[in-house]
Amino acid sequence: MNRTPVVFIHGAWLHALSWELWAERFAGRGFLALAPGWPGEFGTARDSRAYPEMLGDTGLEELTDHYASFVRSLDVPPVIIGHSIGGLIAQHLIGADLGQAAVAIAPLPINDVVLPDPQARHWQAAADIPGGPPVSLSRERFRDLLANTVGAEEAAGIFERYAMPTPRSLLTDLAASGAERHSRAVADIGNVGRGPLLLISGQQDRLVPDSVTRAVYKQYGDSTAVTELKQFADRGHSLVVDGGWRLVADYVLGWLNERAVRPTWECPGAR
């Protein structure tokens, strides 16, 4: 018997520490909580803001392969929990049979689902200058896009501890659509043998609106593999890290329990 790993994948403009409370919560339930950062990411968001060039120009292919390699390195198939870009990657990985279950929270859209205006413009505008440095958000812009459902003081605290730049190539890859859609911005929706997948949305999300997550959910409609949707009213893109994080985390823990994904794992067929 081994502890079941949970791999947390953070999203755009947030640092891996955005999962610190989740990691503590999941570890307290017996899971092995792991939150590996992006290539070039410092140990704190403040350092990543101070030295954005260290993030390089990581694109979606490199970032997805980075987490795929990490998941493959584990002795036990993990639960994969991703937010934003991380939610897209979580779907890509579970569709490729990496991991035993996945949770995609406010995920960037997969396959032929697209962001509507004005949300698409938020991502496209950040990617409009190719080859430039990683893209940072001001405190004001961060609150407007990510932390729009919390007060100014809480938003400032979230920014100080968790906000970091996002590589421009990554944003460019995510902004592509149609025939130019990036090969890693897809998920195998027809894989009926994959593990269970939970999609989560915040109904006041200004970066990935609830309508997009619902459209992604419909993509899985013909599959017999378990796919479920949970919507949280009055929550924005910061739902994993603001004052209401525990409600979301505990819902995920309950869902995993219902799907018989336990904190300890025994190899099938072992006695």
Residue 247, pLDDT above cutoff 70: yes
Integer Cα distance of 50 and 102 in angstroms: 33
Q: What is the pLDDT of residues 194-226, one digit of tens each?
A: 999 999 999 999 999 999 999 999 999 988 999
Residue 68, pLDDT above cutoff 70: yes
Integer Cα distance of 214 and 212 in angstroms: 5
Tokens of 156: 């400032």
In a domain, 231, yes or no: yes
In a domain, 230, yes or no: yes
pLDDT for position 180: 67
Integer Cα distance of 32 and 148 in angstroms: 32
Q: Beta-carbon neighbour count of residue 251 at 10 Å?
A: 15
Q: With contact defined as beta carbons under 8 Å apart, do 142 and 207 qualify?
A: no
Work out the pLDDT band at 267, boundaries 50, 70, 90: low
Q: What CATH number is given to the structural domain containing 199?
A: 3.40.50.1820
Integer Cα distance of 185 and 133 in angstroms: 22
In a domain, 271, yes or no: no
Q: What is the pLDDT of residues 120-170, one digit of tens each?
A: 666 666 655 555 688 888 999 999 999 999 999 999 999 999 999 999 888
In a domain, 120, yes or no: yes
- What is the rounded average pLDDT of the residues 21-38? 97
- What is the rounded average pLDDT of the residues 33-61? 93
In a domain, 270, yes or no: no
In a domain, 41, yes or no: yes
Q: How many domains does the chain have?
A: 1
In a domain, 71, yes or no: yes
Task: Give 129-153 as a DSSP string.
Answer: STT-PPB---HHHHHHHTSTTS-HH
pLDDT for position 271: 46
12: containing domain: 2-265
Integer Cα distance of 12 and 26 in angstroms: 23
Burial category of 211 from C-beta neighbours within 10 Å (exposed 0-12, middle 13-18, buried 19 and up):
middle
Handedness of CA 62, 64, 18, 177 (dihedral sign): positive
Integer Cα distance of 26 and 6 in angstroms: 8
Residue 179, pLDDT above cutoff 70: no
pLDDT for position 132: 67
Q: Which amino acid appears at position 133 of this protein?
A: P
